[in-house]
Amino acid sequence: MNLQVQLEELKQSTLLKLKEMDGNHQKELQDLRVAVLGKKGSLTELLKGLKDLSNEERPLAGKLVNEVRDILTKAFEEQAEIVEAAVIRAKLESESIDVTLPGRQVSLGNRHVLTQTSEEIEDIFLGMGFQIVDGFEVEKDYYNFERMNLPKDHPARDMQDTFYITEEILLRTHTSPVQARTLDQHDFSKGPLKMISPGRVFRRDTDDATHSHQFHQIEGLVVGENISMGDLKGTLQMISQKMFGAERKIRLRPSYFPFTEPSVEVDVSCFKCGGDGCNVCKKTGWIEILGAGMVHPSVLEMSGVDSEKYSGFAFGLGQERIAMLRYGINDIRGFYQGDVRFTEQFK
Ligand code: PHE
């Protein structure tokens, strides 16, 4: 058979096979290309036959081989595009994307309800000219107890047992040691001291719905000349109204803390029933929100502050308690578990 016929035949048969290839023949297309145009392919084989031809025949035959190679190369490229498009089409059809479906929601986090509570209270006090002070969670027995007028053998220490690092270093049981630390620092020639200090405190408590071995307080302290119980009441009245509503009243009940004298327990009139008695206020019309009192002269004197010249008031409120009352939360453990079903309710 002469070369021309063989070339024609290879061309026709290859084009015919190519036409039949669709999206299911990606591999076959590749194989055929190698079989025809590859190094050991049919066309290369035919090319080898050129050497048996005469000098006159050879240029023409060479030209013919090149022509066929060009035609086939182009045909392979075109078919490859068709096959590729078919593969993509099939994939899109099988995936059946519904472009009308709503997109995925990116859910935004929010600040913890306790953070929100303390920031809200901080804002109120900042507006009244208080400074915000940080204390230490790991504290000395000396500041936590002794400087708060609770010497080593004081019976009131029993109510505030805690975690001890050493005999003299402990996890603070209240934010009150910040009182002593700021009193030590304050320069009274520049004016009165007005500060609050929010933070975490620890006690040896068994965790239940209303107790936790760690919780949060906000300490408040005002010391200056002529600071009276009236200032304490006015300040607490104001904060209560901001937190629980403008109609709220407060009442002071006698209490005892070693570091204040006199000491009071502060109740706010029930924000749910307005004072008539309901389940929130346990039918009393009043809700206890914090402990307070006039700073004990010994606490002032231990900081080197003249208790004849200066006086002041202090208070300590529980952040969890405030948040539980405001939002009707009935289990304190919800604050610490990080369950989004709890946390996302306070967006
Ligand atoms: N430190 C007290 C407590 O934790 C609260 C308190 C603070 C009372 C300041 C009076 C004055 O119970």
pLDDT digits (tens, 9 = 90+) for 51-66: 888 888 888 888 888 9
Q: Are residues 162 and 221 in the same domain?
A: yes
Residue 214: the pLDDT is 95
Rounded Cα gap, residues 293 and 233, in angstroms: 10
Residue 1: the pLDDT is 52
257 ligand 1 Cβ < 6 A: yes
Could you write out the three-class secondary structure of 210-253?
Answer: CCCCEEEEEEEEEEECCCCHHHHHHHHHHHHHHHHCCCCCEEEE
Q: Are residues 166 and 312 in the same domain?
A: yes
Do the bridges between strand 131-132 and strand 193-202 make them parallel or antiparallel, or are there none, so unpaired? parallel
Task: Quick: pLDDT tens for 188-224.
Answer: 999 999 999 999 999 998 888 888 999 999 999 999 9
Give the end of a domain, one of 95, 124, 158: 95
**Residue 76 belongs to some domain of the structure:** yes
**Residue 108 belongs to some domain of the structure:** no
Q: What's the Cα-to-Cα distance from 36 to each of 10, 50, 72, 75, 86, rounded to whole Å?
A: 8, 17, 9, 12, 23
Peptide bond into 262 cis (omega under 30): yes
Ligand 1: residue whose CA is nearest its atom 6: 316
The whole-number mean pLDDT for each consecutive block of 10 residues of the chain, a chain of 347 residues, reads 84 91 89 91 86 84 89 93 90 83 89 96 96 98 97 92 96 98 97 98 89 95 98 96 93 97 96 88 92 98 98 97 92 94 93
Nearest to 179 by CA among 160, 193, 168, 158: 193
**Residue 104 belongs to some domain of the structure:** no
State the total domains in the chain: 2
Residue 209: the pLDDT is 87
293 ligand 1 Cβ < 6 A: yes
Residue 191: the pLDDT is 96
316 ligand 1 Cβ < 6 A: yes
**Residue 216 belongs to some domain of the structure:** yes
Give the end of a domain, one of 38, 60, 95: 95
Residue 60: the pLDDT is 85
**Residue 268 belongs to some domain of the structure:** yes
Which DSSP symbol is given to 336?
A: T
Rounded Cα gap, residues 202 and 104, in angstroms: 42
Q: Are residues 80 and 172 in the same domain?
A: no
Give the end of a domain, one of 67, 95, 123: 95
Ligand 1: residue whose CA is nearest its atom 5: 316
Q: Are residues 337 and 188 in the same domain?
A: yes
Q: Tell me if 201 sits within 8 A of 220, measured CB to CB.
A: no
Residue 340 backbone dihedrals phi, psi, to 5 degrees: -60, -25
Token reading at 157: 């220490």
**Predicted TM-score (pTM) above 0.85:** no
Domain boundaries, position 68: 2-95
